[in-house]
Amino acid sequence: MALDQKIADRLRRTPDGLVPAIVQQHDTGEVLMLAWMDDEALHRTLTTGRATYWSRSRGEYWVKGDTSGHVQWVKHVALDCDGDTVLLKVDQVGAACHTGDRTCFDADVLDAHVAGAGGA
């Protein structure tokens, strides 16, 4: 089976055939990670309920949690308005990051000026 043609037609892929996938915890909105998908990875994700990605470094598919046990159970999948990014809302079991951290975004917080309400 292949990705539904209606979905495939909406995707705007990078030159190497990928779309970024932003992954959030479904009940809190916590951003967990960013990974990459091609049509097959998205198809597998939609049909199995397990988050499946394309590893650019290894050149192969990986199902989150098959090795680590840190499974991502898919609760919701959406495309952004341009069709160039996938949003996965998941129930994350254990750490999302390969470093063992809960998210990929909590280890290196950058200093930034934070604008107030109505400010730029």
**Separation CA 69–CA 88 (nearest Å):** 19
Binned at pLDDT 50, 70 and 90, residue 31 comes out as very high
Q: Does the domain spanning 5-92 belong to CATH 3.10.20.810?
A: yes
Q: Is 81 annotated as a binding residue?
A: yes
pLDDT tens for each residue of 48-97: 999 999 999 999 999 999 999 999 999 999 999 999 999 999 999 999 99
Binned at pLDDT 50, 70 and 90, residue 111 comes out as confident
Domains in the chain: boundaries:
5-92
Q: Is the pLDDT of residue 4 over 70?
A: yes
**Separation CA 35–CA 90 (nearest Å):** 13
Q: Is 82 annotated as a binding residue?
A: yes
Q: Is 39 annotated as a binding residue?
A: no
Q: Is 91 annotated as a binding residue?
A: no
Interstrand relation of 72-79 and 86-92 (parallel, antiparallel or unpaired): antiparallel
The pLDDT value given to residue 35: 97
More confident residue, 12 or 111: 12
- The Cα diameter of the chain in Å comes to 50
The pLDDT value given to residue 118: 66
